[in-house]
Chain A
Amino acid sequence: MLIFILIMMLFFLLGAIGDERGVASMFTILGNMVVFFISLGMIFKTGHIFTVTFFAVIGFLLLTLFAQNGFNEKTISAFYGIVIILILVGVSSVVLVNLSSLAGFGELYIYDEEVAFMENQIGYSAQSLLVCSIMIGILGAITDTALSVSSAMYEVREHNPSISKHELEQAGFHVGWDILGTTFSTLIFAEIGQGFFLWLIFARNKYSVVGLLNSKSFLQQTFLIIASSLGCLLIIPLTAKITAKIMKKK
């Protein structure tokens, strides 16, 4: 009931505030939800975690990037940047997660009564699932950053067609600097809210700073946000370079 009311309210607000593109956003969000649940089902059914993640990412990008913003120079540049960052973050995550044995239950899983008593020898690799969750989790933040950079560069080029490739690239960098602070805030507060009940356990158990730095539960909970932040940082110069190259080709 509550979820239904909230969906209706969101639909109404997006339509009222953003016209037809607002409604299109709503369909993109619903589409992303459908892709997410199908992917979850496919991972469970087939066990091919990375193959399903690959197709899920393609599906998410088709919806978020191209269906929502059209097939143009801006979205193509952003697409290249996103793919490169996803590969980079994906490979780094595989290495880090494996090297540090990060996957699986953290030490605080016993506080989650529902999960603590579940059968855990389930035939799916917790490490691969963690990497898959990182790759899907960072997608929103890096897409937002890449699109902001490429869209702003597009506007600059439209207003000043004779602008040099280097100046255009610099314009992309400047936009990146401007949005960094609030992008980090968005990610940090999303994490603070999402992991809230876990933070309460850390506070109740009076973890020291060193204790937190060596806690599996703490690192698992924050890994996604740090990976997203690193992805956003790297995608700014990358998208600026790719966009300048594509836009100044003609």
Chain B
Amino acid sequence: MKNYLNRLTIIKMIIVVAFISVATIFAFNNSRFYDEPIGKITKIETKHVQKEKKSKDENYLQSMTIKLMNTKEAGTVYSYKSSYTTSQFRTTKYHKGQYVFLKKNISKKNGGYGKYGLKIMGEKYDFVWAFMISSLISLIFLIAGRRAILILASIAMNLVVFAIGIMKIVKFKDIYSLTLIMTAIFIIATLILLYGFSKKSIGAIFSSVTTVLIVLGIYMVIIHFSGRLGYEYIDYTNGNEPLEELFVSSLVFSILGAVMDVAITINSSVEEIVVSGGAKSLKEIINSIKGISNDIMGTMINVLFFTFVGDEIPINILKMANGYNMITLFSNGAAFEVIRFLIGAIGIALAVPVSGFFAVVLRARMIRRGGETC
């Protein structure tokens, strides 16, 4: 039996590796399916050159040969020169074998090189996606078995709803209404898809919606009394947008997943406790909820903390190198990540009593009877 299981695991692993390899190799070599000209760097030479006087970086010049892989002129070979600096914030270090998007007839002042006015417009990244998404899908199937379909369906559903929603939000009309409608769809779709139409998913839906509304209310009240924030310091904004409404909308979306996680955990646990008859009174159930919340709150809050701050490290270092200290960093942009994190943490903490309330109310009759029936 053990041998059979080992063999089965090996076969599964071979299928996974084969799937990931095929997907990645296909995406790496799919230039012929593109309309834009794509070139492959077939030869590259890197030379250290004199650095600029004030620069902290070293400068390098890359001379390369690029072979055009698609369009009618496929097979044509071009020479190209490009320079990069060690920090590579605005410059790129290229590698042999790399695929790049090309454009011809660009004037010299706009970066065109040589007699064809060749310019690298960007790097081809679809193979990275192919590698990561095929790894993700195959690992979900390998670990979650048949439930993988439900997990993938819920991810796909959420992404589609978001893609449709953001196309409407970008028109900057009815942002709050759109946010609330999208929130309701996200919560209902995710929980029903993952946990079916059951008392615990209904409880989790009510708990999540209520928690989000309470958190939103708290934020609005505090903002009303503490004054408007300097929203124009948020990254990627231009000041012509309704920044406060958009930031509130982003806050709501940020906390949704974490709130749903707590809501379903509490609702599932209360159901298990009541059905198994493990708790005899309401006080015992409340104590159990407290115990569960102690286990999940801290680590859940940390998930948000690390996700929010991790992303910002490169840009924070760049800002510090440009003269920002911790205080200016904090008051210019970073403060919004801290607010996002704190609102998320408050959402997680509030989701515990709110979920406990709905879990108990929905099972009030069973609790009164001592949980002898389901």
A residues in contact (CB < 8 Å) with B = 1-3, 5-7, 9-10, 13-14, 17-19, 21-22, 24-25, 28-29, 32-33, 36-37, 40-41, 43-44, 60, 64, 68-69, 96, 98-105, 107-108, 111-115, 118-127, 129-130, 132-141, 143-144, 147-148, 151, 173, 176-177, 180-194, 196-204, 210, 213-216, 219, 221, 223-226, 228-230, 233-234, 236-237
Contact = CB atoms under 8 A, between A and B. Distances in A.
A197 B298 contact: no
Given A37-B326, A193-B250, A29 B302 contact: yes
Interface string B268-300: 000000000000000000000010011101111
B118 interface: no
Contact of B237 (A41, A197, A226): A197
Contacts of A199: 162, 166
A214 B294 contact: no
Interface stretch (B49-57, B71-79, B105-113, B363-371): B49-57
Contact of B223 (A2, A19, A36, A102): A2
Given A196-B246, A200-B170, A215-B125, A144 B310 contact: no
Contacts of B360: none
Contacts of B300: 144, 186
7 contacts: A2-B223, A122-B57, A133-B313, A140-B307, A203-B169, A204-B170, A214-B124
- Name A's interface SS: helix
A21 B301 CA distance: 14
Nearest to B56: A123
A9 B254 contact: no
Contacts of A183: 261
A139 B151 CA distance: 22
Given A100-B125, A180-B140, A144 B250 contact: no
Interface residues of B, number: 127
A41 B155 CA distance: 37
B372 interface: no
Contact of B144 (A3, A102, A135, A177): A177
Given A3-B338, A120-B89, A144-B303, A180 B143 contact: yes
Interface of B: 34, 52, 55-57, 85-95, 98, 101, 122-129, 131-133, 135-136, 139-140, 143-145, 147, 150-151, 154-155, 158-159, 162, 166-167, 169-170, 186, 190, 194, 218, 222-223, 226-227, 229, 233-238, 241, 246-247, 249-258, 260-261, 264-265, 290, 293-295, 297-322, 326, 332-333, 335, 337-340, 342-346, 349-350, 352-353
A120 B87 contact: yes
A190 B256 CA distance: 8
Given A112-B235, A194-B340, 4 more contacts: A99-B98, A123-B86, A144-B300, A224-B311
B236 A2 contact: no
B333 A189 contact: no
Contacts of A147: 299
A6 B339 contact: yes
Contacts of B158: 185, 188-189
A185 to B, nearest CB: 4
Contacts of B339: 2-3, 6
A203 B303 CA distance: 28
A17 B353 contact: yes
Contacts of B135: 230
Pairs A-B, 3 closest by C-beta atoms: A137-B310, A193-B254, A140-B306
A130 B318 CA distance: 12
Given A99-B95, A111-B236, A121-B85, A189 B257 contact: yes
A195 B194 CA distance: 25
Contacts of B143: 173, 176-177, 180, 233, 236-237
Nearest to B299: A144
Nearest to A221: B311
A1 to B, nearest CB: 5
B169 to A, nearest CB: 7
A40 B56 CA distance: 19
Query: Of residues B34, B57, B159, which shows the largest number of chain A Cβ atoms within 10 Å of its Cβ?
Result: B57
Contact of B126 (A105, A137, A151, A213): A213
A193 B128 contact: no
Contact of B151 (A19, A111, A181, A186): A181
Contacts of A121: 52, 55-57, 85, 87, 89
A219 B128 contact: yes
Contact of A190 (B34, B258, B290): B258
A29 B299 CA distance: 9
A81 B91 CA distance: 37
A237 to B, nearest CB: 7
B269 to A, nearest CB: 11
B315 A115 contact: yes
Nearest to B166: A203
Nearest to A37: B326
A227 to B, nearest CB: 8
A187 B98 CA distance: 31
Contacts of B144: 177, 180
A230 B139 contact: yes
Contact of A234 (B139, B223, B233): B139
Contacts of A127: 88
Contacts of B308: 190, 194
Contacts of A112: 235-236
A190 to B, nearest CB: 5
